[in-house]
Structure 1
């Protein structure tokens, strides 16, 4: 019995079940925040857990061995990231306006509770005041195993887990062909979208000297599971090839009979070689890779820094306009057909030169201008934010 082949087909079927009819396509957003006290220190896990219990009540909170890990409402889920970054994941809606209204309701709900505790939420791509290595992990087994694993891959695991924060937008696909077009376009745009949304002034207290530092951090976490999905820019890319990719990446840990166990370098292919995977196990496996663009039963676009409300929803609207506006093929033709290596080269150029960085033969700033025809108002808002950063950018260039 070919269990490996059956598992890969089962993963592929999971992706296929995510196909949506055109009339039912939606958009979702996740925004991560730092919880900061009035003395500009980070709120502790215990302080944030107490805050969330006060805001949401025990009936909406979720725990692991009595430690609060998040909260769930009818409209969104709250989760705590490794160093207690607070993430809101708004359940997908048909319009960006609905998402923004829900986010505003969340902020309003939090406001008085934060004020009483002399705390505030800050949105930026990296810890604004603390050094990542000095921050403890929250009491979640998943993060303990990830932290230990990434210490033996490359150099930036601590900064990624404890220091970074993002804005992630999720989109639907109609069928496999639509998935491939959207996924590949999102990867092509990754250097440009990262630059457009860069919102990081310091790394561990040191002013940033280059652009898109979160991208540079991810470049040095674990090449097996981060960055550009291997084979994803080829004509043969499909649900099946993504399933093969994720099936052979080390799991780090697995849940077996309710017990979380470290798996080291074992991939799903090795750990589940004797049986078929359950849907829960497939979902866990999919959550343990962190490429710029990730497939679950929707597409996650993951390269933006954590952004303030106005810019976060301008960015969400931009993603809507690009991927739901009927211009995917046109934008792909404009960008050409870059290889994985050329996308990686574009990232490096943007890291060094910002808007003057070369992206597939054009300056990144030229691509900004091109995208305005598809999403005028959102691009104007995001470019206005960049204009406010010009003084810092000029200092970097000097």
Structure 2
């Protein structure tokens, strides 16, 4: 089946689910370092690590002869451009399940990395390495991206090789539900940046940013926070957006081909000579949607992508924060943000990586808004009242964020304080 605009709209509609069937998907990335020399691990070490994970039931994913990831029971471990690894979790029912999944994965990962003298770093930006020190891997698409991405954003290679994020995937029950959720998640991006800032050290020095990762993503090709996302966005308008969006690459007969001269509309109109003017399929559409690097994006679900990666103490806090609002208390948070001015949101978005909680938005600082949203989220998680075996609901996962608010101190601030005392690289590794 080839793709028309109507097919794109139907693709998004096919993601609509009953509220009782809403799921939660979490993805999070990690940096891996050789503890003997404080350098990022190379591909040969990745293969050793993947081999070790086979013992825990993980199965290899191959591209030609090369192992590029692992899978197990609906979960995937994928290999990022600079040999960061990402867990893409199963679609689960609540934060208890999602957090248990992450805990099991990190337990297995640590068993293997300990044997191989690999250290894990859970920050939004590589705190140690220079860009030219980072090894790559043979994954095909990354060669094309390394060539083409810098043409549209000066920090694109830093994004590929030196950033790690946490992503949350959520469902929608109707086109209106999508619109409300998408407007909320885009409006609160500045607050998310400030609250989850965890990338203050760059190349073994204080960077003058709290979330240098967010600064990088703002200067990355195909990224950012388009003004369109604050309008009354429906599936048709989002379809128009992605149809007119440039193509990054096309997968044709198992080979990746640069798409940097074309938009997806050109593809739909049969105007790409390099692939003999063939028309796109649904898998081509899916690939295109996954290469739009905006702060949030739509597939058959909504992806939230504005959080820096963090360690175990806060890994579950971000997803809990958003699920409380978006699944448990959407009307209240939508009512709060619906009158916000989009230009002021974008100004706050640009300021937040450096100023953090001191950034101004609608006459208040982001600390005020983060505190307000935390209480809205807490109400939402209480509304959901999903209990674990000990009879506790999902609000327990907000404890880390409550400490951030009580002390007005983020992970980025902790890292600055800890590292500044003795500038010991060991302070950057996960304990």
TM-score by length of 2: 0.85
Aligned counterpart in structure 1 of residue 267 of structure 2, from 264, 268, 271: 271
Report the equivalent of 2:80. 81
Q: How does 1:204-219 map to 2 (within 5 A)?
A: 204-219=203-218
* Whole-angstrom distance in 2 between the partners of 1:91 and 1:388: 29
Deviation at 1:336, TM superposition (A): 4.0
Matched, 1:289 2:292: yes
Deviation above 6 Å: which 4+ runs of structure 1? 391-395
SS of residue matched to 1:387: coil
SS of residue matched to 1:93: coil
Report the equivalent of 2:304. 301
The worse-fitting range, judged by mean Cα deviation, of 87-96 and 264-273 is: 264-273
Matched, 1:252 2:248: yes
* Whole-angstrom distance in 1 between the partners of 2:173 and 2:94: 17
Deviation at 1:392, TM superposition (A): 6.8
Change (3 A) 1:366 1:149: same
Report the equivalent of 1:180. 179
Q: Please tell me whether the aligned partners of residues 28 and 170 of structure 1 are also in contact (alpha carbons under 8 angstroms).
A: yes
Report the equivalent of 2:357. 355
Q: How does 1:1-398 map to 2 (within 5 A)?
A: 7-39=4-36, 40-56=38-54, 60-222=59-221, 225-235=222-232, 237-274=233-270, 276-325=279-328, 327-376=329-378, 377=395, 378-385=397-404, 387=409, 390=413
Q: Please tell me whether the aligned partners of residues 168 and 319 of structure 2 are also in contact (alpha carbons under 8 angstroms).
A: yes
The worse-fitting range, judged by mean Cα deviation, of 145-154 and 175-184 is: 145-154
SS of residue matched to 2:248: strand
Question: Alignment RMSD, CA only?
Answer: 2.3
SS of residue matched to 2:284: helix
Change (3 A) 1:158 1:133: farther
Report the equivalent of 2:384. none
Change (3 A) 1:212 1:388: closer
Change (3 A) 1:150 1:388: closer
* Whole-angstrom distance in 2 between the partners of 1:28 and 1:391: 28
Which ranges in structure 1 are unaligned for 5 or more consecutive residues? Answer: none
Q: Please tell me whether the aligned partners of residues 267 and 279 of structure 2 are also in contact (alpha carbons under 8 angstroms).
A: no
* Whole-angstrom distance in 1 between the partners of 2:106 and 2:353: 33
* Whole-angstrom distance in 2 between the partners of 1:114 and 1:351: 31
Count of residues paired in the alignment: 388
Which ranges in structure 2 are unaligned for 5 or more consecutive residues? Answer: 271-277, 379-394, 419-431
Deviation at 1:232, TM superposition (A): 2.0
TM-score by length of 1: 0.91
Deviation at 1:388, TM superposition (A): 6.1
Q: Please tell me whether the aligned partners of residues 348 and 361 of structure 2 are also in contact (alpha carbons under 8 angstroms).
A: yes
